[in-house]
Amino acid sequence: MHRTVPSLPLAPSVKVKLINAGFQVASDLIDMRPLQLCKEVGISQQEAVEVLQMLRDDGQPHQQRAATESLTALDLLHQEQALGSIVTFCSALDDALGGGLPVGKTTEICGAPGVGKTQLCMQLAVDVQIPVCFGGLGGKALYIDTEGSFLVQRVADMAEAAVQHCTLLAEDTEKKIQALEELTVEKILSNIFLVRCHDYVELLAEVYLLPDFLSEHPEVRLVVIDSIAFPFRHDFEDLSQRTRLLNGLAQQLIQLATQHSVAVVLTNQMTTRVSNGQSKLVPALGESWGHAATQRLILHWEGLRRLASLYKSPSQMEATIQYQITVQGFRDAPDEPRPTPATSAVSSPSGNHSKHPRMEDRS
Amino acid sequence: MEWEQLDLNPRIIAAVKKANFRSAREILCVSGPDLQRLTRLSKTDVQRLHCAVAAAVRKSKPVTALQLIRGECPVLEAGNRLSFSCRILDGLMRGGLPLRGITELAGESGAGKTQFCLQLCLSVQYPQENGGLNSGAVYICTEDSFPIKRLRQLIALQPRLRPDLPPALIHSQRFSDNIYIEHAVDLEALQACVSQRVPVLLKRGLVRLLVVDSVAALFRSEFQADEAVQRSRHLLAFSNTLHRLSHEYGAPVVCVNQVTDVVDGPNPGRCDYGLVGSKVLPALGIAWANQVMVRLMLRRLVGQVQSDSRSSAPRKLEVVFAPHLPRASCLCGVWEEGVRGIPDDHSDLQPQGSS
């Protein structure tokens, strides 16, 4: 056994004492008896027993696990492609993201209130369930809601639109028709798990419980936290603690994304920053948070248009695309020539904001 | 925190107590390696500790959206809404105000925001099957004094506003008894009211609607232009209290907001929420907007609208953003009996010249 003492899964204080007593490698310890170890090293008898127990327990598997697998870059590429991505039903955005939201990575969606962050998250929770034969992942979703903006009525609308969309896509292939029969609004709703967190402690607790949840539900391919900013933006006198907690969260989420092959989506708010007398809208939670997610998508208004900018991505080019939110959900913008912001200020009659005036009784 | 009740090895519990941890929050806020160092436990022990404490903190296990829509989890999604007492307005809002979350009503002075709030204070008192919540309302005034005469007029004319309800039901309601009026003269009084007196009323089930008229007045007057950071902090603390109360008791919170003028053109440092061409925007900036779940804007239009030989200036109620509603608007008028929506096919209306 060639494992060095520092790499053993023991409490740090015990390790320090072992090293100070001269034990460098695991094989030095194997022949010792508890009382001997206790006297030589200066640890309690209980701790000595535990050390020897641990060494005995994983003597065999250690040697097999000793050399970690090394992967080639080609293997990694195959693995990444096999993971897939979640479509958003907005083809422009899917193209910009290289197919959709990547599984196995964390994506942050920032935007001002009302621009469509929650809509996109709900759309993803529905889209992750599209059957494999239609090009989807056939997975489930976990939605962690901290703001209380997950209104199931809207998700039901999106689910219905998704089923209709798939019905249109289904040709006469038997597999697709069979998959379509199982894809009902109720099935879609039953595959979205919702947890509501009311403050940052509950959110931290939920993230600690995620590994167990994901192991119990291996079909979950999407975890949404909407929003991660809300519980962290007030109540913190100590901003350095906030940064520490956020960094810890980011690390845990990245680990979860890779270990359990899920896409993690976080939504963030915007805040105003004044620099050189000019004010700008920037993502909240500070500068260091900018490094937390693998990809960053910023949703913003430009006059009447809603735009999504891919701001940070290791694999895709920066791009800005237009989208719209319809009754069916998050979709491509219609292909009409849009007036520039200057003229639209003049020519927007009052009635145009109400595209679908809700006169009829919708309840 | 009672460490014994956690499902853990007594050795781990002893180490936690020895390291002087008092609450679940302290354990969850410390990272794995730091916890190992402070308690001298091993990595697996610390993981078990984190999981056990997290399970104790978690209030309820994940539920599916199907369970929500079937009404099996009333704590998370009640299924019903607070009606406006008008079929057309309810139609705009897909049933009415959501029970959890802050709804903001912004508009210029004279637009009719207070009228809406008074109407909601009456509507909340009806039974649930008639669109109410069978409970009272708290009305916090920060600007003018409470319009008690107008409230009495509205109460007297309720049968005209709600012809769908049996008159006996309306007459049996003791409307004025169930509306609690508070005046807050400064921010401290406002925060005290919302954190001390309002929770008592909510806990006893006496009220299930909270109206703040208006939220802008005190925040704009007490902070100078350059004290934006402090103002944000107080705003966040205040809105967090409202948010917590709303979620805990399933009580809609309506906040009336003022508007600011838009003097320059589109400004990248200011969010317009897609309200292109509007000369006014809701006040209090993006810090407040981030806390609001449903934002409504009320605009007064020129012209007149008739109903039964009475006339009123028309208003446009617009949904600026909401998680479950599209950008839509409807017209309404303010009459003696209250606010009523106007159906789309009304011909004597001149909607041009909207602000």
Report which residue type is found at A39.
Answer: K
Structural domain tally of chain B? 2
**B36 interaction partners in chain A (CB closer than 8 Å):** 11-12
Minimal CA–CA distance to A267: which of A100, A103, A99, A119?
A: A119
Q: How confident is the model at residue B324 (pLDDT cuts 50, 70, 90)?
A: very high
Asked if A269 has any chain B CB less than 8 Å from its own CB, the reply is yes
pLDDT at B33 over 80: yes
DSSP assignment, residue B178?
G
Please report the pLDDT score of residue A342 as a whole number. Answer: 39
B127 phi and psi angles, rounded to 5 deg: -65, 165
Query: Which of A202, A204, A270 is opposite residue B286, by nearest beta carbon?
Result: A270
C-beta separation of A106 from A254 below 8 A: yes
List the CATH number of the domain containing B33: 1.10.150
| Averaged pLDDT score across all residues of chain B | 88
* Rounded Cα gap, residues A90 and A87, in angstroms: 8
C-beta separation of B250 from B100 below 8 A: yes
DSSP for B135-156 reads: SEEEEEESSS---HHHHHHHHH
Residues B33 and B170 reside in one and the same domain:
no
Asked if A134 has any chain B CB less than 8 Å from its own CB, the reply is no
The answer to whether the CB atoms of A304 and B344 lie below 8 A apart is no
pLDDT at B246 over 70: yes
Residue B217 lies in a domain: yes
* Rounded Cα gap, residues A304 and B272, in angstroms: 9
* B21: number of Cβ within 10 Å: 20
Give me the residues of A, 137-176, that contact B with CB < 8 A.
Answer: 142, 147-156
A235 phi and psi angles, rounded to 5 deg: 75, 10
Q: How confident is the model at residue A65 (pLDDT cuts 50, 70, 90)?
A: very low
The 3 state secondary structure assigned to A147-209 is CCCCCHHHHHHHHHHHHHHHHHHCCCCHHHHHHHHHCCHHHHHHCEEEEECCCHHHHHHHHHH
Q: How confident is the model at residue A123 (pLDDT cuts 50, 70, 90)?
A: very high
Q: How confident is the model at residue B180 (pLDDT cuts 50, 70, 90)?
A: very high
Q: How confident is the model at residue A346 (pLDDT cuts 50, 70, 90)?
A: very low
Residues B25 and B126 reside in one and the same domain:
no
**B292 interaction partners in chain A (CB closer than 8 Å):** 113
Residues B274 and B135 reside in one and the same domain:
yes
E runs forming strands in B13-158: 63-64, 102-107, 136-141
B171 phi and psi angles, rounded to 5 deg: -70, -25
Asked if A248 has any chain B CB less than 8 Å from its own CB, the reply is yes
The encoded tokens of residue B259 equal 């508007």
Minimal CA–CA distance to A195: which of B194, B30, B60, B26?
A: B60
Nearest residue in chain B measured CA to CA from A143: B62
The answer to whether the CB atoms of A303 and B266 lie below 8 A apart is yes
Query: Which of B28, B228, B354 is opposite residue A201, by nearest beta carbon?
Result: B28
Residues B291-299: what's their mean pLDDT? 94
Please report the pLDDT score of residue A340 as a whole number. Answer: 42
| Averaged pLDDT score across all residues of chain A | 83
Residue B178 lies in a domain: yes
Residues B221 and B294 reside in one and the same domain:
yes
Residue B352 lies in a domain: no
C-beta separation of B155 from B118 below 8 A: no
Dihedral angle of Cα B351, B122, A198, A292, to the nearest 10 degrees? 10
Beta bridge partners of B159: none
Residues B159 and B228 reside in one and the same domain:
yes
List all residues 6 or more positions away from B131 whose beta carbon is below 8 Å from its beta carbon.
Answer: B81, B82, B83, B85, B90, B96, B123
* Rounded Cα gap, residues B330 and B88, in angstroms: 8
Residues A30-57: what's their mean pLDDT? 79
Q: How confident is the model at residue A355 (pLDDT cuts 50, 70, 90)?
A: very low
pLDDT at A90 over 60: yes
Q: How confident is the model at residue A353 (pLDDT cuts 50, 70, 90)?
A: very low
* Rounded Cα gap, residues A137 and A99, in angstroms: 12
Better-predicted residue by pLDDT, A193 or B274 = A193
Better-predicted residue by pLDDT, B167 or B267 = B167
Domain enclosing residue B181, as ranges:
79-346
Better-predicted residue by pLDDT, A356 or B211 = B211
Residues B24 and B146 reside in one and the same domain:
no
Q: Which of B42, B50, B295, B325 is the best substitution to test chain A (most A C-beta atoms within 10 A)? A: B42
**A233 interaction partners in chain B (CB closer than 8 Å):** 236, 290
Q: How confident is the model over A152-201, as pLDDT tens digits?
A: 999 999 999 999 988 887 766 777 777 778 888 999 999 999 999 999 99
**B344 interaction partners in chain A (CB closer than 8 Å):** 357, 359
Residues B36 and B86 reside in one and the same domain:
no
Residues B185 and B326 reside in one and the same domain:
yes
Residues B18 and B132 reside in one and the same domain:
no
Q: How confident is the model at residue A2 (pLDDT cuts 50, 70, 90)?
A: low
B69: three-class secondary structure by DSSP? helix
pLDDT at A111 over 90: yes
Residue B314 lies in a domain: yes
Residue B251 lies in a domain: yes
DSSP for A67-103 reads: S-----HHHHHHHHHHH-EE--S-HHHHHHHTSSEET
E runs forming strands in B154-279: 179-183, 207-213, 253-257, 259-261
Residues B181 and B227 reside in one and the same domain:
yes
Residues B85 and B39 reside in one and the same domain:
no
Report which residue type is found at B156.
Answer: A
Residues B324 and B199 reside in one and the same domain:
yes
* Rounded Cα gap, residues B117 and B95, in angstroms: 17
List the CATH number of the domain containing B208: 3.40.50.300
**B327 interaction partners in chain A (CB closer than 8 Å):** 353-355
* Domains parsed from chain A with CATH numbers: 5-58 (1.10.150.20), 80-332 (3.40.50.300)
Minimal CA–CA distance to B98: which of B266, B279, B345, B296?
A: B296
Beta strands A106-111; A263-268: pairing state: parallel
Is the Cα torsion angle B68, A115, B82, B144 positive or negative in sign?
Answer: positive
Q: What Cα–Cα distance (Å) separates residue A212 from each residue in A145, A260, A306?
A: 19, 11, 38
Query: Which of A9, A272, A356 is opposite residue B285, by nearest beta carbon?
Result: A272
Q: How confident is the model at residue A310 (pLDDT cuts 50, 70, 90)?
A: very high
Asked if A18 has any chain B CB less than 8 Å from its own CB, the reply is no
* Rounded Cα gap, residues A347 and A343, in angstroms: 6
The answer to whether the CB atoms of B54 and A213 lie below 8 A apart is no
Nearest residue in chain B measured CA to CA from A148: B101
E runs forming strands in A5-147: 85-86, 101-102, 106-111, 140-145
Helix or strand (DSSP H, E) at A311: strand A305-312
Among A59-68, A111-120, A243-252, B11-20, which is the least confidently predicted range? A59-68
**B287 interaction partners in chain A (CB closer than 8 Å):** 271
Asked if A350 has any chain B CB less than 8 Å from its own CB, the reply is yes
Asked if A49 has any chain B CB less than 8 Å from its own CB, the reply is no
Beta strands A295-302; A220-226: pairing state: unpaired
Residue B212 lies in a domain: yes
pLDDT at A343 over 60: no
Report which residue type is found at B182.
Answer: E
Dihedral angle of Cα A12, A17, A19, A20, to the nearest 10 degrees? 140
* Rounded Cα gap, residues B309 and B39, in angstroms: 80
Q: How confident is the model over B58-90, as pLDDT tens digits?
A: 888 899 999 988 888 888 887 889 999 999 999
**B229 interaction partners in chain A (CB closer than 8 Å):** none
Contacts A–B by Cβ distance under 8 A = 238
Please report the pLDDT score of residue B299 as a whole number. Answer: 92
The answer to whether the CB atoms of A234 and B289 lie below 8 A apart is no
Q: How confident is the model over B131-162, as pLDDT tens digits?
A: 899 999 999 999 888 999 999 999 999 999 99
The answer to whether the CB atoms of A363 and B94 lie below 8 A apart is yes
The answer to whether the CB atoms of B344 and A208 lie below 8 A apart is no
Report which residue type is found at A182.
Answer: E
Instruction: State how far residue A176 is from chain B, nearest Cα, in angstroms.
Output: 24
